[in-house]
Amino acid sequence: MVCRACGKKGDHWTSRCPYKDLAQPPESLIDKPPTDGPTAAAPATKGACILPSLRADAERLSTDMRRRNEKNFVRVINLSEDTREADFHKLFSPIGQISRVYVAIDQKTGLSRGFGFVNFAKREDAERAINKLNVYGYVSLILRVKWATPRAN
């Protein structure tokens, strides 16, 4: 084995290297300050990852997300234990465009906890889902579809 700290073969591992305090870090691990060249001041190019919170329209996006969550979310209860998000997509996609689905899963058992949420792109689609699928028979159970209450902050 070769020690990653000193680069020598021996009877020690990297964490117990007697030379690790004396060894120079490899150049690939040293943080280099940006140069004064064109790449330092260049804006992000196509394909570069920019966090949503750092984007120019971050404030608008966060308020739109909050508004969408309050208006277009429906809660579905009385689900079977083996319901998954793909089942939600199959059930609700004929009604309208879905933005997001969530099925609550028990972390210990990996089974559904019996409820989930569907976020529609339009409020009209959410209303249609409530009207069509409330008290709907699905996998031997009767679904309850209602408006989701917003989270308390």
pLDDT tens per residue across span 93-111: 999 999 889 999 999 999 9
pLDDT band at 68, cuts 50/70/90? very low
pLDDT at residue 75 greater than cutoff 90: yes
Contact in structure between 68 and 148 (CB atoms under 8 Å): no
Domain count, the chain: 1
pTM of structure: 0.54
> What residues make up the domain containing 130?
71-147
What does the mean pLDDT of the chain come to? 76
In a domain, 84, yes or no: yes
Residue 29 is classified by DSSP as G
pLDDT at residue 88 greater than cutoff 90: no
Q: In whole angstroms, give the CA distance from residue 138 to residue 147.
A: 19
CA 123 remoteness from chain centre: 23
Residue 40 is predicted with a pLDDT of: 45
In a domain, 76, yes or no: yes
In a domain, 121, yes or no: yes
Q: To which H or E segment does residue 99 belong?
A: strand 98-105
83-to-51, 76, 117, 141 alpha-carbon distances in Å = 32, 11, 12, 11
In a domain, 3, yes or no: no
In a domain, 38, yes or no: no
In a domain, 106, yes or no: yes
pLDDT tens per residue across span 21-30: 665 555 544 4
Closest CA to 96 of 69, 63, 74: 74
In a domain, 12, yes or no: no
DSSP 47-83: T----GGGSTTHHHHHHHHHHHHHHHEEEEES--TT-
CATH number at residue 136: 3.30.70.330
